[in-house]
Amino acid sequence: MPRFVKPIVAVLVAATFVPLAFALNARVSKSKKPAVHLFFDMDAQPKFKAQQGNPVFADGRAMRHPIPGTVARGELLPDDAVTLGKVGEAFVAEVPVPITADLLARGRERFGIFCATCHGLTGDGRGPVALRAESLEEGTWTPPSDLHAEPAFSRPPGHLYNTIRTGIRNMPAYGPQIPIPDRWAIVAYVLALRRSQHATEADVPPEYREALR
């Protein structure tokens, strides 16, 4: 073996430590340069982010209000009677969607899920949450209204709808959890509950009256 081979091998072996040294150095030091970015794709785009300023607009804000009348996709709302339960300030006196057996069945199901916990399955205000709160006797509980007693009993359908949508006094709003068609389904069902809880013999079809006696 010629004499110069040994030092060359030594140099090469030493050189293999150089990348390792760079890597170790990179782990302990900070660089202000951007990271090496081989494929830019669409990663870096000139844009304004939310809350940033933008000199293009007179008010200097990058975030813009939607143009008045803009409707988000899938959010085209029916008229006020259906979305708010009122026309102007007046609550609607009729359910503004067709009342069908399906709607009532849906309303019954939804009422059981969202309302009966407090108001009870018949709407008398004696749901399991109310009973439990009473048994705790903490004295801070506002009992859920009996839907068959005043003032709730005489409320027009639009008012019931609005109660679901925005809540009332101590009752929270259920609008965010219950979509518009389901709110009306519940209203229709509450109206049916009203009738069922205040039914007289005259409400029973003649052919069934005998069986009741």
Binding site for ligand HEC (CB under 6 A): 114-115, 117-119, 129, 142, 144-145, 147, 151-152, 155, 160, 163-164, 168-171, 174, 186, 190
Task: In whole angstroms, give the CA distance from residue 93 to residue 85.
Answer: 9
The residue of the chain with the least Cβ separation from ligand HEC equals 115
User: DSSP characters for 22-58?
Assistant: HHHHHHHS---SPPP-S--TTSS---PPTT-B-TTST
Shortest separation between residue 116's beta carbon and ligand HEC, angstroms:
8
Residue 62 or 117: which CB sits closer to ligand HEC? 117
* Residue closer to ligand HEC, measured from CB, 62 or 191: 191
Minimum distance of ligand HEC from residue 192's CB (angstroms): 13
Q: How far is the CB of 205 from ligand HEC (least distance, A)?
A: 28
Cβ proximity to ligand HEC, 80 vs 146, nearer residue: 146
Q: How far is the CB of 119 from ligand HEC (least distance, A)?
A: 5
Cis check for the bond before 151: say yes or no (omega within 30 of 0). Answer: yes
Return the closest-CA partner of residue 111 out of 45, 183, 197.
183
| Cβ nearer to ligand HEC, comparing 81 with 160 | 160
Residues 54 and 61 sit within 8 Å (Cβ to Cβ): yes
Q: Give which of 64, 186, 196, 175 is closest to 115, Cα–Cα.
A: 186
Nearest residue (CB) to ligand HEC, 62 versus 133: 133
Least separation, in Å, of the C-beta of 190 and ligand HEC? 6
Q: Is the dihedral of CA 178, 184, 185, 186 positive or negative?
A: positive
